[in-house]
């Protein structure tokens, strides 16, 4: 049996009849940069997330960038975040000229260790950028307490967690800004690059809207120095059609996760843990696996694909040499980067495929 990591072609076939007419409509109207299809999608997402405003942008990376620009975070500022995330999180901080300040992660949730945040605050700290990794929201109560105490903004990197919830509140709606990515492999994927920002603050929403279009306030009047961070009309149309399926896709991911977690009980593998009050969306189903690389090879030979997110924490990359970190600075992130393995969890996969993948994992250890 083959168990691919994703099956985006199967997903396309399942929504083709809804997506293609919407795409064709955009083509016919030629409103292809922003336009009504993007506006419709923005309204749908705002409603889905329970936030007042949504601003479609060109990517998740740009959502983070525009959020920091709107908050005027820049040179001389520090932003606290995690070293165990996709590159773009800290990349956005550095791109506005601010300094990424890392805190280590919690080994249970893979998210920022909230107890370490307060001690990373300095007089230059401007914001906290929590990352809801793999589809699980950080401990936002604690993060919001620290933010309130030191008057810091919160920009949530919710790029992996659209639809995730904590006590009935959706990812992206805790901070000043929540940022989403619709990169094709995400739980809600576009036909190319796209991203989105949500906020409840009307002034910040207006500013972010201007910034995504060069900072233009009215035609050829520029109030800020922004950039071209506009969402394509086609992506708006695709995403609005697909959003209707997101809840059932996330439900299917949770069902797949349950199969794995049951199979792995009592095995050498540590399944991901869901913190109390959280609804996980399993953007990734990530286990801690002894002899991780050997297991990955074994699975590959048996037709089961898997992936490592992320093999090297951000503080150890060459581009951050100037931060003068060294190995050992964030030991939990460093250790877990050697043990994490994400297994196929996509909603298009059948329960038979998930069971097969789980059995192959167990088979690997039974032979040791
Ligand atoms: C995908 C992702 C991003 C960036 O999104 P793009 O749309 O690819 O630019 C940022 N942060 C995290 C945690 C992500 O997973």
**Non-local CB neighbours of 301 within 8 Å, separated by 6+ positions:** none
Give the position, in ligand 1's atom list, of the atom nearest the Cα of 131.
13
Start-end of H helices in 112-185: 117-120, 140-150
Neighbours of 237 (CB within 10 A): 29
Burial class (CB in 10 A: 0-12, 13-18, 19+), 224: middle
* CB of 183 closer than 6 angstroms to any ligand 1 atom: yes
Q: Please give the distance, rounded to the nearest whole angstrom, from the Cα atom of residue 131 to the centre of ligand 1.
A: 10
Classify residue 163 by its DSSP letter: T
Q: Please give the distance, rounded to the nearest whole angstrom, from the Cα atom of residue 186 to the centre of ligand 1.
A: 9
CATH architecture of 8-103+111-243: 3-Layer(aba) Sandwich (3.40)
Classify residue 151 by its DSSP letter: T
* CB of 161 closer than 6 angstroms to any ligand 1 atom: no
202 vs 328: CA distance, rounded Å? 43
**Could you tell me which of 362, 357, 278, 310 has the C-alpha nearest to residue 109?**
278
pLDDT tens for the chain, 368 residues long, are 999 999 999 999 999 999 999 999 999 999 999 999 999 999 999 999 999 999 999 999 999 999 999 999 999 999 999 999 999 999 999 999 999 999 999 999 999 999 999 999 999 999 999 999 999 999 999 999 999 999 999 999 999 999 999 999 999 999 999 999 999 999 999 999 999 999 999 999 999 999 999 999 999 999 999 999 999 999 999 999 999 999 999 999 999 999 999 999 999 999 999 999 999 999 999 999 999 999 999 999 999 999 999 999 999 999 999 999 999 999 999 999 999 999 999 999 999 999 999 999 999 999 86
Residue 367: per-residue pLDDT: 85
Residue 2: per-residue pLDDT: 97
Four-residue CA torsion sign, 35, 19, 197, 192: negative
Four-residue CA torsion sign, 206, 207, 208, 210: positive
Q: Residue 71 — left, alpha, or beta (φ > 0 → left; ψ -120 to 50 → alpha)? A: alpha
Q: Residue ranges per domain, the chain?
A: 8-103+111-243, 246-366
328 vs 316: CA distance, rounded Å? 10
303 vs 273: CA distance, rounded Å? 26
Q: Residue 138 — left, alpha, or beta (φ > 0 → left; ψ -120 to 50 → alpha)? A: beta
> 3-class DSSP state for residue 91?
helix
**Could you tell me which of 295, 300, 365, 309 has the C-alpha nearest to residue 337?**
309
- Residue with CA at minimum distance from ligand 1 atom 10: 88
Asked whether the beta carbons of 183 and 190 are under 8 A apart, the reply is yes
CATH topology of domain 246-366: 3.90.1150
Q: Give the torsion through C-alpha atoms of 280, 285, 291, 297, to 10 deg.
A: -170
Start-end of H helices in the chain: 8-29, 36-49, 60-70, 87-95, 117-120, 140-150, 202-211, 233-264, 292-301, 331-336, 351-366
Residue 45: per-residue pLDDT: 98
- Residue with CA at minimum distance from ligand 1 atom 7: 60
Please give the C-alpha separations between residue 116 and each of 41, 142, 173, 234, 359, in angstroms, as whole numbers.
Answer: 37, 11, 23, 42, 38
């Amino acid at each position: 049996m083959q168990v691919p990591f994703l099956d985006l072609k199967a997903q396309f076939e399942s929504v083709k009849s809804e997506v293609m007419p919407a795409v064709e409509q955009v083509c016919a109207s030629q409103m292809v940069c922003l336009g009504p299809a993007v506006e419709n999608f923005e309204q749908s997402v705002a409603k889905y997330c329970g936030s007042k405003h949504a601003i479609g942008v060109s990517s998740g990376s740009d959502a983070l960038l525009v959020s920091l620009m709107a908050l005027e975070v820049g040179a001389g500022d520090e932003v606290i975040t995690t070293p165990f995330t996709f590159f773009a999180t800290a990349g956005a901080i550095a791109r506005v000229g601010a300094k990424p300040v890392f805190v280590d992660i919690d080994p249970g949730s893979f998210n920022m260790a909230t107890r370490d945040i307060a001690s990373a605050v300095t007089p230059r700290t401007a914001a906290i950028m929590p990352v809801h990794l793999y589809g699980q929201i950080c401990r936002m109560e604690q993060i919001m307490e620290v933010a309130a105490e030191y008057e810091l903004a919160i920009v949530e990197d919710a790029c992996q967690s659209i639809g995730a919830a904590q006590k009935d509140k959706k990812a992206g709606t805790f901070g000043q800004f929540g940022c989403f990515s619709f990169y094709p492999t995400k739980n809600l994927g576009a036909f190319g690059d796209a991203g989105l920002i949500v906020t409840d603050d009307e002034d910040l929403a207006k500013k972010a809207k201007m910034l995504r279009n060069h900072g233009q306030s009215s035609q050829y009047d520029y109030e800020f120095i922004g950039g071209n961070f506009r969402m394509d009309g086609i992506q708006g149309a695709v995403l609005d059609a697909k959003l209707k399926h997101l809840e059932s896709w996330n439900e299917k991911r949770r069902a797949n996760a349950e199969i794995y977690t049951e199979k792995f009980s009592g095995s050498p593998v540590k399944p991901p843990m869901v913190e109390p009050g959280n609804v996980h969306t399993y953007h990734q189903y990530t286990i801690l696996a002894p002899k991780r690389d050997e297991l990955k090879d074994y699975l590959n030979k048996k037709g089961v694909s898997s992936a490592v997110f992320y093999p090297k924490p951000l503080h150890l990359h060459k581009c951050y040499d100037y931060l003068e970190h060294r190995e050992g600075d964030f030991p939990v992130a460093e250790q877990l980067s050697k043990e994490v393995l994400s297994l196929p969890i996509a909603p298009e996969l059948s329960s038979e495929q998930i069971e097969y993948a789980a059995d192959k994992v167990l088979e690997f250890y039974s032979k040791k």
